[in-house]
Structure 1
């Protein structure tokens, strides 16, 4: 391959100069329409004027209670304002804290641990619901009944038709597995008490 046949984007020295604004405007309709700031509707927003922001601080006042809050290891401190509605608790909180303390947000382990913490929290909520007067109902709360009674399987144009066959497995599988574990555990307890 001759040297002139190699596109200039792949060589260290750019042999061909970039096209001029006039050449680009002639070749591409509408090219450069936003070059003049007067033509841009967002132009006033792009001008930074410290007096017009309304801020009375250089750095916002910090919300109290940031000690011990989880934050990414890429950041030196918690953001000035943060949510406190769902504090971490129990085993799921320990898993999530581990994700923040140990792994960067760029690591897959960080996100997998957060997902695992979410699943542990969901299962904890399901188990707590059995102790209440209104336990979770997987048939009505997951939409399985609606799929069968409201014509969900017959609707055309659905993007999820191909994986619809797996939905009962995904929805019911964890419940069946959890029930099986409970039955096996109860059997062992009964055997241990008899023996």
Structure 2
């Protein structure tokens, strides 16, 4: 027999349903709810938590704080103070935009990218620059079944394999092109 939609206009007797279906109507009478004793109204201030407000940490210098908060939390991190252009971008995000605005988060992401780029540039100027080939693990895959471990195993990262070389090597190639063009301009002068 094919499926036929039931007639929802039909009225049922609540007592008959309660007799036939265990737990039916639990939301109609608070006394029928299994969790009802826990739902008794209490004093909202009586949470059961007993603590005293901790002493506030003294801020050294200006700290970033979202515009919707009136005060800093009692304890906050100071290990990575904001610095440079990325710090200025992040300070602007905290000073100008609320955490509920997209611009706040986009500026924080931009600040992070600027910090990453400046770290790469500093690395290139150091005695031991970053090595994206060995640090990405590309060389280690050759000896550990690179094809059979990726395909046919249901791995989610197979969809973006084609993007990996662009993401890893792209910034380095771009930096190389810029460096070569800059040197070429200097030599021509």
Please confirm whether the aligned pair reaches a TM-score higher than 0.5, indicating the same fold: yes
Structure 2: segments with no counterpart, 5+ residues: 1-13, 27-31, 39-45
Report the counterpart of residue 158 of structure 1 in structure 2.
155
Is 1:117 matched with 2:100?
Answer: no
Residues 21-170 of structure 1 mapped to structure 2, 5 A cutoff: 25-26=23-24, 32-37=33-38, 48-49=47-48, 53=50, 55=51, 57=52, 59-65=53-59, 67-155=61-149, 156-170=153-167
What is the CA distance between 1:147 and its match in structure 2?
4.2
**CA spacing shift, 1:178–1:65, aligned 2, 3 Å:** same
Is 1:171 matched with 2:172?
Answer: no
Partners in 1 of 2:22 and 2:186 — Cα distance? 80
Contact 1:104-1:110 at 8 Å conserved across structures: yes
What is the CA distance between 1:102 and its match in structure 2?
1.1
Contact 1:146-1:152 at 8 Å conserved across structures: no
SS at match of 1:170: helix
What is the CA distance between 1:129 and its match in structure 2?
1.5
What is the CA distance between 1:60 and its match in structure 2?
2.5
What is the CA distance between 1:116 and its match in structure 2?
0.9
What is the CA distance between 1:179 and its match in structure 2?
1.3
Aligned pairs, number: 158
Structure 1: segments with no counterpart, 5+ residues: 1-18, 38-46
Is 1:182 matched with 2:176?
Answer: no
SS at match of 1:114: helix
SS at match of 2:161: coil
Q: Deviation digits for residues 104-132 of structure 1, max 9, x if unmatched?
A: 11111111111111111111111111232
**CA spacing shift, 1:36–1:146, aligned 2, 3 Å:** farther
**Which runs of 4 or more aligned residues in structure 1 lie more than 6 Å from their structure 2 counterparts after TM superposition?**
none
SS at match of 1:166: helix
Partners in 2 of 1:136 and 1:33 — Cα distance? 61
Contact 1:96-1:117 at 8 Å conserved across structures: yes
Contact 1:66-1:78 at 8 Å conserved across structures: no
What is the CA distance between 1:33 and its match in structure 2?
3.7
Partners in 1 of 2:141 and 2:117 — Cα distance? 24
Give the RMSD, CA atoms, in angstroms: 2.8
Considering only CA atoms, is the larger Rg found in Structure 1 or Structure 2? 2
Report the counterpart of residue 8 of structure 1 in structure 2.
none
